[in-house]
Structures are given as structure tokens and as C-alpha cells.
Amino acid sequence: MNEQIASIQTAALELIAAASDERSLDDARVSTLGKKGTLSLAGALIKDIPNEEKAAFGQSLNAARTTLTAALEEKQTQFQQQADQAALTGIDLTLPARSIHTGALHPLTQIRHEAITILRRMGFALADGPEIEDEFHCFDALNTPADHPARNEKDTFYFDSGKLLRTHTSSVQVRTMETAQPPIRIIAPGSAYRRDEIDSTHLSVFNQLEGLFVDTDVTLPDLKGTLEYFFHEMFGNSTEVRFRPHFFPFTEPSFEIDVKLQRKGEAPRWIEVAGCGMVDPAVFESINGTRKDNALDTEKLTGFAFGMGLDRLAMIRWAIKDIRLLIENDTRFLSQFA
Ligand code: DAH
């Protein structure tokens, strides 16, 4: 090896060995292999060397560079290991790890997704409407007269403008029929608002899922079959479902649907879960009145509608005794659904 290069290498190795931390090691790298480092400056001398010695000189230069690079790397690894070691001292590896909390969907969201999935399989499409409604879409178009108790200020949240917080999702039936071309097959999940006293089964904001099917041959057996299928999918095939005659202004005939709830250690009870019926032709007529194209021809079309309480479904599914648990966001309750 060229003598000059050999002495540069020796000096550089000493510098590297003497480095006490990453910073001084970096200084050593710069002062030897850096652009203006000792080895690089020596390399520049190659042009003054006689031709026959150039090859040997070049080889010495490369050999020195390889040796120094390896020495630098080795020292660097050594510092890294020391740093890792230092970081670990003082840490008690026997401490139990902090538990990781996984997020989960709220039970109401879960039940809504499930209900939507079942009904979409049957061909229902999602529809939407505003929560701040007017009386026409919430009541008038739904054949609900001005003196009906649901329209009372005691039961409904009115704004000074005369608008109101929708008391049911049935207003989405009207919104949809105003623009859609039959056949219509929609579902509309959403919030509804009533001035109810809050207790274990009532909230002033609750969740419904509305359904509407309008076509040429829609019959009562279609309504019954659809909803029985729905509740069997929801709660299991052995669940008993009962249609109880009732009155709603916008359907004729109308029914309330009860599901038989059997809780362990309790006598079985019927729980009301939905209202439904065959769409009253008066509803079609009032919408024809605004559309002016007789698209909902009462001579040709019939329909069924239903509205179910999603909070109720969740309470039945998980035997939840107090509806308030669904809005209190107590993680002791919610974590059970994760
Ligand atoms: N809107 C009714 C309520 O909130 C429920 C209902 C009954 C919806 C009958 C319907 C229906 O679509 O046909 O009590």
C-alpha cells in the first residue's frame, strides 16, 4: 500500500476509535471520507503520479476507503446498541400492557344496518327527507285532519315559522311520492320527535324506519308476508308476530304489529314494534293534487306502508330495559356491544 495512504488510514482509524458519540463519529467521517477529507484530498493527487503507478495508487485508495467505511459502520452500530440499551433500562418489562379499546358501532346503528340489509334484499331502496318538516308533508298529505291530536302543540315541537320537527318518518313517503315514478319501493330510517314525557320506554327523540311499496297489484297478504319475513329475519324464525287492527289516518285497513318477547324467567309478553296498513287512496289523491300528473292513479295502483321503532327493536334484541341507556353514552353499557 502506498505509504502516504497507509498513514492517512492509520490516523483515520485512530480518530474513529477515539469517537465517543455519534456526533464525533460523524466528524471523523467528514474529516476522512468527506469531500475535503484527508483520503479524498489524497485521491486528488492521482493526476500527478506517473502512469505506471496509477493503478496501484488507485487500489490503495479503494482499499483504504473500504476499511474506513467498515470501521465507521461498526462504530455506528455500537453506538446504536448502546442507545437501545439505555432506552430500555428503567422500563419494567413485567408490567402488564395497557389494554387496547376497540371501537364498535352503537347498538342502534347495528340494528339499523341490519334492518336496512334485510329490506334491501327484498328490493327496497333507501330514501330520505328533512327532519324539520311542514304540516303538509307531516300531516295534511297523510290524510291527518287539523284537529287530529298528533297535530296538537302539546304533542309536537313547532317552530314560530309554523314548521315542526317531524313526528314520524311517514313524511318521507309523501316526499318520495311527490317526485318518484311508480312502482315505488323505499325505506327511510331516521329520527322522529314528540313532546313525550321521558321515561324507560319514551324519549322525545327516537328512531323509526319507514317503508312504502306502491305498484299495480300490492295486496294485504304482500304486506303481511313482507313484515313477517322481516321480523323472522330480525329475531329468528320461531318469533311470533301478530297483526292487531288499529287506526292510522293514512292507511286503510291499518294494523299495529306486536312481537312476542320471551325473556328468561319472565312470562312472555307482546311488544308493539310497528304500525302498518294499505295506503289510503286519499293519500295518493293529495299527492296527485300537487304533482298534477295523476302518476299515483288510484284506479291502477295500490300500496302498503309501515313504520317501525328502531329503538324498540334494539331493546327487544338485547333485552334492554330502559330506552335512556341508548342515548346516555355510558361506556359500561356500550362496551357490551363491542
Ligand atoms: N307513523 C306512524 C307512527 O309514527 C307509524 C306508521 C303507521 C307508519 C302506519 C306507517 C303506517 O307507514 O302505514 O306511529
Question: Residue 17, Cα to own-chain centre: how many angstroms?
Answer: 58
Give me the mean pLDDT over the 145-174 stretch. 94
> What is the average per-residue pLDDT within 269-279?
96
Does residue 94 lie within any of the structural domains? no
The pLDDT assigned to 40 comes to 87
Of 57, 87, 117, the residue at which a domain comes to its end is 87
In a domain, 173, yes or no: yes
The answer for residues whose C-beta is within 8 angstroms of residue 254's C-beta and 6 or more apart is 245, 246, 247, 248, 275, 276, 277
206 close to ligand 1 (CB < 6 Angstrom): no
**Looking at the domain assignment, is residue 19 inside a domain?**
yes
Q: Which atom of ligand 1 is least distant from the CA of 173?
A: 12
Q: Which three cell numbers stand for residue 155?
A: 304533542
> Residue 13 is which amino acid?
L
Grid cell digits, residue 142: 297523510
Q: Whose CA is nearest to atom 14 of ligand 1?
A: 275
Q: Is residue 221 part of a domain?
A: yes
234 Cβ inside 6 Å of ligand 1: no
Q: Is the bond preceding 96 in cis, omega lying within 30 degrees of 0?
A: no
The region of weakest confidence among 4-18, 158-172, 188-202, 316-330 is 4-18
Q: Does the residue 100 lie in any domain? A: no
The number of domains in the chain is 2
Per-residue confidence (pLDDT) for residue 99, from 0 to 100: 85
Residues 211 and 159 in one domain: yes
% the chain with pLDDT above 70: 100
The best mutation among 119, 131, 306 to test binding of ligand 1, ranked by most ligand atoms within 8 Å of the C-beta, falls on: 306
The pLDDT score that the predictor gives to residue 53 is: 87
What mean pLDDT is predicted for residues 329-334?
93
211 within 8 A of 118, measured Cβ to Cβ: no
pLDDT at position 286: 96
Three-state SS for 269? Answer: strand
Ligand 1 mean position, distance from CA 174 (Å):
13
Does the reported pTM lie above 0.75? no
280 lines ligand 1 (CB under 6 A): no
Q: What is the Å distance from ligand 1's center to 128 Cα? A: 16
Task: Please give the grid coordinates belonging to residue 173.
Answer: 313517503
Q: How many other CB atoms are found less than 10 A from the CB of residue 274?
A: 24
Q: Where are the beta strands (DSSP E) in 7-157?
A: 125-126, 132-133
Domain hosting 59: range is 2-87
Q: Domain end: 54, 87, 120, which one?
A: 87
Do 34 and 154 lie in a common domain? Answer: no
CATH number of the domain that residue 145 is part of: 3.30.930.10
Q: 275 CB under 6 A from ligand 1? A: yes
Say yes or no: 146 and 266 in one domain: yes
Span of 42-46, 66-70, 221-225 with lowest mean pLDDT: 42-46
Dist CA 112 CA 334 (whole Å): 16
- 305: Cβ below 6 Å to ligand 1? yes
φ, ψ for residue 242, nearest 5 deg: -130, 135
Reported confidence tier of residue 41, pLDDT bands at 50, 70, 90: confident
Ligand 1 pocket member 309 (CB < 6 A): no
Q: How far is Cα 118 from Cα 338, in angstroms, rounded to an integer?
A: 22
pLDDT per residue over 69-97, tens digit each?
999 999 999 999 998 888 888 888 888 98
Last residue of a domain, one of 43, 59, 87: 87
Say if 208 falls within a structural domain. Answer: yes
Reported as a pLDDT band with limits 50, 70 and 90, residue 1 is: low
Q: Which has the closest alpha carbon to 300: 144, 141, 181, 186?
A: 181
